[in-house]
Structures are given as C-alpha cells and as structure tokens.
Amino acid sequence: MSIKFRLTIMSFFQFFVWGSWLITVGNYWFGTKQWSGAEFGAIFSTLGISSIIMPAITGIIADKFINAEKLYGILHILGGIALFYIPQVDNPTTFYWVIFAAMLCYMPTISLSNSVAYTILKNNNYDVVKVFPPIRVWGTIGFIAAMWLTNLSGNKASANMFYIAGFSAIVLGIYSFMLPKCPPQRLISENASFTEKIGLNAFKLFGTYKMALFFLFSMFLGGALQLTNMYGDTFLSEFANNPVYKESFVVKYSTIIMSISQISETLFILAIPFFLKRFGIKQVMLISMLAWVLRFGLFAYGNPADGLWMIILSCIVYGMAFDFFNISGSLFVETTTDSKIRSSAQGLFMMMSNGFGAFFGAQISGIVIDNYYTHDGARDWHGIWLAFAGYALVIAIAFAVLFKHNHNPNDVENVSH
C-alpha cells in the first residue's frame, strides 16, 4: 500500500467521523429530543472552545514527548468512546459535557492530521505542495460520504449517527498506529519562554492596526461559519411541518441536499489561485463575505417547490463563502507576518475564527433564535436567515471601508514556492 494511499485513507476517515453527526445533530436535538435552541447553541460552542485550548497543547506534546501519529490515534480512540456514550444521555446538560469531551479530543486531530501527513510526505521525499491537496480533498469526500450514509440509512434524526461516528473514530485511531512513525521534532528551544512555547508571542500582532482589524473581522465572520452547519439540516427537515412539502425530496433527503455545500467546497478550492491572482486577498475575502449574505438570503426565500433553485444555489455559494475566507485569510497571514512567528500567527487566525468566532456565534445565535424567532415551538426560518444575512452584510460593508491592503500579484507565487 503506497504512502499516498495510506494518507488518503486517514484523510477520508478524519472527516467521515465529523460528517457523521455535525450536520444532522440539529435534527436529533430539536426533532428527536425536542430540547431548546439556546442549549443547542452551547453544543456548537464546544467546537470553538476546543479550538482555542487544545491545538497548542497537543502541538507541544507532539513536538516534545510523543510520536504525532500515536497521539493522533489516542485522541481519536478517546473521542470515539465519548461519541459512543452520547446515545445514553437523556438531558441537554450531560449531552453538552459529553460532546465537549469528544470535541476536546477531535478538534486538535484536524491540525495533527495535517502535521502527520506533512511529516510522512517530507520523509519520503514527496513535493508536499503538489501531493497534499489531492490527499486532503478526500477528507471532504469522507465528510460527504458520512452525510449520505446517515441520511440514506434513515439515521439523520437517530442516535445511530453517534455510533457511526464513534465506530469510525476508533477504527481510525487503531489505523493510525500503523502509519509511518512521526517522532517528536523538538523544534521548540529548551530556552524558549512559556509564551513562545504555546504561541502567545503572536499576540503582539494585535499591536498593529491592520493585523488587529484582520483578526477582529476573522472573529466576526467566524461567527457565521458554523451557522448553516448548526441549523441547515433542521431548517430543511422542518418543511415537513407544512403539508405541501411533507413528502418532498428536500425533506426526505435534506442531508444529501446539504452535502452539495461540501461538493461545492471541493470545486471552489480549484478556483482560488485565479481569484487571488486577479483580485487580491482583500477583494477575495470581501467576495467571501458577500457570498455569506447570499448563502443566508437564499435560504430565507427558498422552499422545496418553486424555491428549490434558491436552496441549491445557496449550497453552491457555500463553497465560495467558506473557502475564499479560510484560504485567503491564511494567505494574508503568510504574506504579512514575520517568519519567526508565522506558525503561531496561523494558529491565532484559526483561534479567532474557528475558536472565539465559532463560540460566540453558536452561543448568541441560539439565544437570539429562542427569544426572537421561536413562537409556540415553531421557528421562523425566514426571519432567522434574514437576520444572519443582515449580520454578514454589516460585516462586509465594515470590512470594505475599514480594512486597507494593497494587492500584490506575487503573493500567491511566493507562498507556493
């Protein structure tokens, strides 16, 4: 079995674990358990909290104490055990703590999977820039496959989604022990300060106006990143409450419809170099923000009949909204920060968007939906999506006015070499 194929399997199952439940947990929460929206927002905030505290810790462990592939495997096995326990939970508070434990194990494996792949490819003299993207795209395919399996097996509102996720996590954990060894690199100097070891020295970037503004907008937009993951499948499934749409394809196969978003994501990745070269980082990030406005706005007016095209288009737009922000943002950090703190700065970008942004977005959206858009147990999805669209539009306008950055066409070429 070739190195590339072994890493492709790892990438596929890395995101298969997540896709098994992330998009459909809303149906389980609201439909099967009938718990509240405010408490549901707290569930997704565990992704943000875990993204804030765990990657730095596991990074230090992998750098200094234990093989990265072994740490990766241990985390997946522990996370799989937590996922297996979730179907036994019968109240939202316990559910929160169990899913939190699972996310503390899962979220750092995303960056660890990249580190493991990079190390193994470099050790085997592969061109990482050329070889890694085709491997990584199988992660998105794994996410899509898990969504389809959950939906087609009739488990999009069933506790069985957690058994699927838990089983695949444990299998991946065991499999990782058979990967080539990735011993500790000990790249961090023994004389380095504690703040340097955990990447806090990158916080000095907040002292410059442009970087501070960039990280602030990263947090604000990060608040929108998980909203359709949180509520999208539930939104489509609740069209069943309307007799006109009850037997529609959208209601029966809502998760498959949502998977168009991930399919779009794989395609827009290929378009990013062209857009960056042509329009520059700021314009591409602005396009992303406007794409989020479209994503939410199309959902607001879509329906399973004459408005189906809006739902489909919204899912297609998602690829642009998600990819253009994450990749162009990462490139901005790469081209504007000192090489000595570049890795820490990338971690700070992810912490602000997927950490604090996701945390506040999840918490606040749950409270807003419960207090302003839920009446007698029924959710006003039209109003919910319009509110989210308005939020994204305000961010886009503020970003266009306040954020200044000169386009350099060589930025893309410099990073790729």
Q: List beta partners, residue 374.
A: 379
Q: Which pLDDT score, from 0 to 100, does residue 416 have?
A: 43
| pLDDT at position 83 | 97
Q: Assess whether pLDDT exceeds 50 at residue 415.
A: no
pLDDT tens sequence across 368-392? 998 999 998 889 999 999 999 999 9
pLDDT of residue 185: 61
Distance between CA atoms of residues 127 and 125, nearest Å: 7
The domains found in the chain, sorted by start residue, are: 1-185 (1.20.1250.20), 202-417 (1.20.1250.20)
Lowest mean pLDDT across 98-107, 171-180, 274-283? 274-283
What is the distance between the alpha carbons of residues 267 and 324, in angstroms, rounded to a whole number? 12
Residue 112 tokens read as 């660890």
Judged against a pLDDT cut of 70, whether residue 196 lies above it is answered with no
Alpha helices in 65-157 (DSSP H): 68-85, 92-123, 128-152
Question: Distance between CA 168 and CA 152 in Å, rounded?
Answer: 17
- pTM of the model as a whole: 0.79
Structure tokens, 206: 């907040």
